[in-house]
């Protein structure tokens, strides 16, 4: 079994081992970090704060240093560094807002500066796993409090009064005894000379004095630029002398170029050159697939030139991948015992003795991310130096991989992070940035590599395909006494290690072995599945098939026993308790169990809240139905009710969605709502249309016409979002991904309520028309 749970670890397995063995501080020392307050992780000591997170275990951990993240100009402008990638979650606003809150800066006088990729300086920058707020709420508060303290100390010295007598309030420091005030700008130079206070001694603000956190009145920092076309994404970078490139990549993963005939392409006006791009053998990790690049004076000419190329490929070992045949293999594997990952009681015996066994075999196909901005990157490689501009979720990893590929020191690689036109996990893989670097090196000029939508769909890192088979055994009273869940799916680990047949801990930990129901006999199994294409992280990852299967099964049990879905769900969740599955080294989204246990009280709470606010059980018109689902993922708890309407021709609409989320302590409820609204639409897209299929090793879809996503005229009419107020200092948890998993099963349960049809295979497609 591969030990991997995030993209960074997969980038350099050996490095990860090294990180685990030595202390963070010694690593930092080894990397030559001097000066500043660069703290070894974990920074969140038990005595200072009520909880710990897994932040310190991420590559390069956490850096808490106001001198790295905050600068104050003589004009009073406070510049705060945003070191995570902005792909639509609002993180470029939320994290700097935390610093501003704690340092008493006035947000209207704050500028946000995007960090380049430098994890030694900024700490881990991997923007994935719904981790940013969860890992950085406290560090950002500490950074803000440090900066505030330094400003206060500078003012106290200037006035010759004890520091305890002064206080920073809304962008100035005041000495209330004498009525004196100094603006942050007036104190900037002196404050910079102050020593950085120790974290242990920092006094954080009382949350009741928060001006911004938890309020949701602050718009995202890029709002004006986005609405006026000034916001800069990867493709918007323009350098003097820059060439435009598109690449023809192997149509089959692992395929190789046999020959190319560039003559016709070179005749296209604007095309300047045709050249081969280096590819890496399968499994190729985050490295490029290779192919043939067409270099032109603009992207349009490059695309036209590529269309004119004559290419011959050797499809290689995956040339027979066929989704119809593969589905049968997965289904057959799911009907036989697999690797047992969680065993409590004796599920086999209990199923045999059960009064009734309900079997659900669920199929969920590959999905493509189709972020509105397809992958794109600009590179300028000169000698042993490289500069990259790209919409990457992993600036540090990109820097590392570009350096390694070009054979130059990491210090010589600058990765400028643009805005991301959506990410959803695709942009955690930096293959497109490496492609641009390789081409720029060879051409001796800056190059932009633009992926077309077809490239994005044909050559991506797809969401896995899976069969989830659940058998639930009921006793005479209708109580569920046995639960056997077999999950069969190619693993993301297969993109990194040949011969991978089992899912990785981080995949089985997403809704399979952490299943929270109170059932005496449980068996969670993982039969083998090989991969024949690149599998990658897709927003909420394995939680999509797991929540679909588990929550559909709850609907099926309710259906079979004639009970209300919500009551059935609460009965299965059982008593309020901390679930401790019998699983060796249970993966918990990288978080310690102490801070982030599986808490069924919180799970019940979101079900009850959404049932109340979403008016569960309300009377709906004929042809309408209500469905409910709940799921814990990214250590958050989310429940969704979907109202669906199906007309007599099988046309499906969604009049209303209600979602309740418990994500612990939160920063920006307005952005939480936007993430949940969007998750409902992404959930509806994957349920209704989402399917990538293969024939002869090739993806059969091309663009938004045959890989459809939901459009406005079919999107939910209204999505209501209810956020559970945090209880005291409940640790913050994920928001970006957890909204997706419960949507599809709630929809499917609603469709059953409306029509009596039980859908077990996604996408819904034409199933309701039959």
Partner 1 sequence: MIKVKINGQEQSWDGDPDLPLLWFLRDEAGLTGTKYGCGQALCGACTVIVDKQAVRACITSVNDVAGREVTTIEGLHPNGDHPVQKAWRQLNVPQCGFCQAGQIMQAAALLMDNPKPSHDQIREGMAGNICRCGCYQRIENAVHLASTGV
Residue 424 Cβ vs partner 1, minimum distance, rounded to whole Å: 8
* 331 CA to centre of own chain: 28
- Nearest partner of 102 among 136, 146, 71, judged by Cα: 146
Instruction: Give the burial string for 495-509 (b: 16+ CB within 10 Å, else e).
Output: bbeeebbbbbbbbbb
Q: Is 370 in the site for partner 1 (CB under 8 A)?
A: yes
Q: How far is CA 555 from CA 515, 609, 613, 619, 629, in A?
A: 16, 19, 21, 19, 9
**Which of 206, 705, 756, 766 is the binder for partner 1 (CB under 8 A)?**
705
Q: Are 277 and 443 in contact (CB under 8 A)?
A: no
How far is the first Cα of the chain from the last one, in angstroms, to the nearest whole number? 43
User: For 623, which DSSP code?
Assistant: T
Our CB check for partner 1 shows the closer of 215 and 563 to be 215
Tokens at 562, concatenated? 């004639």
**Which of 41, 570, 679, 762 is the binder for partner 1 (CB under 8 A)?**
679
Q: Is 26 in the site for partner 1 (CB under 8 A)?
A: no
Report 234-253 residues binding partner 1 (CB under 8 A): 235-236, 238, 244
Q: Is 670 in the site for partner 1 (CB under 8 A)?
A: yes
Our CB check for partner 1 shows the closer of 587 and 722 to be 722
State the number of binding residues for partner 1 (CB under 8 A).
Answer: 69
Our CB check for partner 1 shows the closer of 373 and 662 to be 373
Tokens at 237, concatenated? 């970078």
Site mask for partner 1 (CB under 8 A), range 438-457, x = bound = ------------x-xxx---
Report 281-320 residues binding partner 1 (CB under 8 A): 297-301, 303-304
Q: Is 86 in the site for partner 1 (CB under 8 A)?
A: yes
Q: Is 692 in the site for partner 1 (CB under 8 A)?
A: no
Instruction: Give the burial string for 129-141 (b: 16+ CB within 10 Å, else e).
Output: bbbbbbbbbbbbb
Q: Is 716 in the site for partner 1 (CB under 8 A)?
A: yes
Query: Cα–Cα distance between 83 and 6 in angstroms, integer?
Result: 18
Tokens at 737, concatenated? 């991904």
Residue 127 Cβ vs partner 1, minimum distance, rounded to whole Å: 12
What lies within 8 Å, CB to CB, of 137 at 6+ separation is: 98, 665, 667, 732
**Which of 258, 324, 712, 770 is the binder for partner 1 (CB under 8 A)?**
712
Our CB check for partner 1 shows the closer of 372 and 727 to be 372
Q: Is 229 in the site for partner 1 (CB under 8 A)?
A: yes
Q: Is 374 in the site for partner 1 (CB under 8 A)?
A: yes
Q: Is 372 in the site for partner 1 (CB under 8 A)?
A: yes
Residue 716 Cβ vs partner 1, minimum distance, rounded to whole Å: 7
The most distant pair of C-alpha atoms in the chain lies apart, rounded to whole Å, by: 83
Our CB check for partner 1 shows the closer of 422 and 731 to be 422
Our CB check for partner 1 shows the closer of 247 and 419 to be 419
Q: Is 230 in the site for partner 1 (CB under 8 A)?
A: yes
Our CB check for partner 1 shows the closer of 236 and 514 to be 236
Q: Is 128 in the site for partner 1 (CB under 8 A)?
A: no
DSSP codes of every residue in 564-617: -HHHHHHHHH-SS-EE--S-TT---TT--TTTS-EEHHHHHHHHHHHHHHTTTT
Q: Are 475 and 450 in contact (CB under 8 A)?
A: no
Our CB check for partner 1 shows the closer of 76 and 655 to be 655
Query: Cα–Cα distance between 496 and 505 in angstroms, integer?
Result: 15
Q: Is 55 in the site for partner 1 (CB under 8 A)?
A: no
Report 470-489 residues binding partner 1 (CB under 8 A): none
Query: Cα–Cα distance between 715 and 732 in angstroms, integer?
Result: 30
**Which of 29, 181, 215, 232 is the binder for partner 1 (CB under 8 A)?**
232
Beta strands in 170-236 (DSSP E): 172-175, 180-183
Report 392-421 residues binding partner 1 (CB under 8 A): 419-421
> Which residues sit at the interface with partner 1, rule CB under 8 A?
86-90, 219-220, 222-224, 226-233, 235-236, 238, 244, 268-270, 297-301, 303-304, 370-374, 419-424, 450, 452-454, 670, 674-675, 677-682, 703-705, 709-716, 718-719
């Amino acid at each position: 079994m591969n030990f991997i749970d995030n993209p960074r670890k997969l980038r350099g397995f050996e490095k990860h081992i090294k990180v685990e063995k030595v202390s963070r501080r010694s690593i930092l020392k080894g990397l030559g970090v001097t000066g500043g307050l660069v703290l070894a992780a974990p920074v969140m000591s038990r005595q200072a704060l009520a909880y710990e997170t897994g932040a310190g275990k991420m590559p390069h951990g956490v850096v808490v240093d106001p001198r790295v993240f905050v600068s104050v100009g003589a004009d009073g402008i406070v510049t705060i560094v945003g070191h995570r990638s902005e792909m639509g979650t609002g993180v470029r606003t939320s994290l700097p807002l935390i610093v501003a809150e704690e340092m008493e800066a006035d947000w209207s006088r704050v500028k946000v500066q995007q960090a380049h990729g430098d994890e030694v300086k900024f700490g881990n920058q991997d923007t994935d796993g719904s981790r940013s707020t969860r890992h950085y709420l406290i560090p950002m508060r500490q950074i803000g409090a440090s900066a505030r303290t330094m400003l206060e100390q500078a003012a106290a010295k200037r006035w010759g009064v004890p520091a305890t007598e002064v206080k920073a309030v809304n962008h100035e420091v005041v000495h209330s005894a004498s009525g004196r005030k100094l603006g942050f700008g007036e104190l900037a130079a002196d404050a910079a000379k102050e020593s950085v206070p120790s974290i242990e001694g920092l006094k954080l603000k009382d949350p009741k004095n928060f001006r911004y956190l938890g309020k949701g009145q602050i718009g995202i920092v890029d709002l004006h630029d986005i609405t006026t076309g000034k916001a800069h994404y990867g493709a918007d970078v323009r350098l003097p002398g820059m060439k435009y490139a598109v690449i023809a990549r192997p149509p089959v993963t692992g395929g190789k170029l046999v020959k190319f005939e560039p003559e016709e392409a070179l005749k296209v006006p604007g095309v300047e050159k045709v050249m081969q791009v280096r590819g890496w053998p399968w499994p190729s990790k985050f490295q490029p697939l290779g192919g043939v690049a067409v270099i032109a004076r603009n992207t349009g000419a490059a695309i036209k030139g590529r269309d004119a190329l004559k290419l011959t490929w050797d499809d290689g070992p995956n040339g027979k991948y066929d989704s119809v045949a593969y589905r049968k293999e997965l289904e057959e594997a799911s009907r036989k015992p697999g690797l047992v990952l969680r065993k409590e009681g004796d599920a086999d015996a209990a199923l045999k003795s059960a009064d009734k066994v309900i079997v659900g075999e669920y199929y969920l196909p590959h999905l493509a991310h189709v972020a509105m901005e397809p992958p794109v990157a600009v590179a300028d490689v000169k000698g042993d130096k490289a500069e990259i501009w790209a919409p990457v979720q992993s600036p540090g990893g990109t820097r590392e991989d570009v350096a390694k590929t070009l054979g130059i020191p990491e210090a010589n690689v600058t990765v400028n992070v643009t805005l991301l036109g959506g990410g959803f996990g695709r942009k955690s893989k930096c293959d497109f940035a490496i492609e641009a670097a390789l081409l720029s090196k060879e051409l001796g000029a800056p190059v932009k590599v633009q992926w077309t939508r077809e490239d994005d769909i044909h050559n991506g890192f797809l969401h896995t395909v899976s069969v989830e088979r659940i058998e639930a055994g009921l006793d005479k009273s209708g109580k569920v006494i046995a639960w056997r869940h077999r999950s069969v799916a190619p693993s993301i680990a297969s993109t990194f290690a040949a011969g991978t047949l089992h899912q990785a801990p981080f995949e089985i930990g997403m809704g399979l072995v952490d299943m929270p129901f109170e059932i005496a006999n449980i068996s969670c199994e993982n039969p083998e599945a090989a991969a024949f294409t690149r599998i990658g992280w897709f927003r909420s990852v394995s939680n999509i098939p797991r929540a679909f299967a588990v929550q559909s099964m709850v609907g099926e049990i309710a259906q079979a026993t004639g009970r209300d879905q919500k009551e059935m769900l609460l009965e299965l969740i059982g008593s309020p308790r901390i679930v401790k599955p019998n699983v060796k080294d249970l993966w918990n989204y990288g978080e310690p169990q102490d801070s982030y246990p599986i808490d069924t009280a919180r799970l019940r709470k979101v079900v009850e809240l959404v049932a109340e606010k979403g008016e569960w059980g309300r009377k709906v018109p004929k042809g309408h139905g209500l469905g409910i689902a709940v799921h814990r993922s990214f250590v958050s708890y989310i429940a969704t009710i979907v109202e669906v309407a199906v007309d007599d021709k099988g046309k499906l609409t969604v009049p209303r969605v209600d979602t309740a989320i418990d994500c612990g302590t939160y920063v920006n409820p307005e952005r939480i709502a936007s993430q949940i609204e969007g998750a409902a639409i992404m959930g509806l897209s994957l349920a209704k249309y989402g399917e990538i299929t293969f024939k002869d090793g090739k993806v059969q879809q091309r663009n938004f016409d045959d890989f459809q996503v939901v459009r406005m005229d079919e999107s939910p009419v209204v999505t209501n979002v209810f956020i559970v107020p945090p209880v005291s200092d409940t640790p913050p948890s994920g928001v970006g991904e957890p909204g997706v998993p419960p949507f599809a099963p709630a929809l499917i349960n609603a469709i059953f309520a409306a029509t009596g049809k039980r859908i077990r295979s996604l996408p819904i497609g034409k199933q309701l028309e039959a």
